[in-house]
Amino acid sequence: MNDYVIAPPPQPAVPVAGGGRFPVRRIYCVGRNYAEHAREMGHDPNAEPPFFFAKPADAIVTDGAAVPYPPQTTNLHHEIELVAAIGAGGRDIAVGEAIGHVWGYAVGIDLTRRDLQAWAKKGAKPWEIAKGFDRSAPIGTMVRAAGVPQPLRGRIELSVNGEPRQGADLGDMTWDLPHVIAELSRYFELCPGDLIFTGTPAGVGPVVPGDRLLGSIAGIGSVAATIA
């Protein structure tokens, strides 16, 4: 029975290679999961472990779509990231079993209002307005985990207007994906439909209207977005 008093909002979903769509429940993100990026942001990766934050599920933008330059910022940054999609939920997941909870993978961009993030850090304020704004999570076509034999290694890179900006290897992560899943599941019960943006390598920087972003991860795929 549909007794909603307004029309229910649409279910955010990510297209899957070969057909179908992956419905998105929550979007978790890892902060400072590559040492070089932690250093470029002014932090000591040996002193401070990675951590978690989140975006709303409807922040996703499907592959190739335009992203309007968001309001309330003059310093919008790109962050290319591996995205893992949870197909089997759980809490207190063991590191050795974590990969088995992944349904698929995609390439995502964690768009960030860097000036608002700096304001939040300085004042010990929450990060939502810096990270969880509308259309802040472009994501490419998802591939099934069965088609990704080696999700812990592979070149991850992003270019803007054809110029290389970010480049590293997934193996450079401070917490590799099994540790990300295990650690996250100590704080939240993970459920089918959850996405995890696993952090960005060094080379983050600003984008402006008209810029064309192209990110890729070897063996997984790509993501394209244009800032409008």
Nearest to Mn ion of 52, 89 (CB atom): 52
| Stretch of residues binding Mn ion (CB under 5 A), selected from 89-97, 148-156, 196-204, 218-226 | 196-204
Nearest to Mn ion of 128, 192 (CB atom): 128
Asked whether position 114 contacts Mn ion by CB under 5 A, the answer is no
Asked whether position 200 contacts Mn ion by CB under 5 A, the answer is yes
- Report the nearest approach of Mn ion to the CB of residue 198 (Å): 9
Asked whether position 198 contacts Mn ion by CB under 5 A, the answer is no
Nearest to Mn ion of 73, 200 (CB atom): 200
Asked whether position 79 contacts Mn ion by CB under 5 A, the answer is yes
Q: Tell me which of 63, 110, 176, 183 binds Mn ion, using CB under 5 A.
A: 110
The residue at minimum Cβ distance from Mn ion is: 110
- Report the nearest approach of Mn ion to the CB of residue 226 (Å): 20
Asked whether position 185 contacts Mn ion by CB under 5 A, the answer is no
* Strand bridging mode 66-67 / 221-227: parallel
Residues engaged in binding Mn ion (CB under 5 A): 79, 110, 200
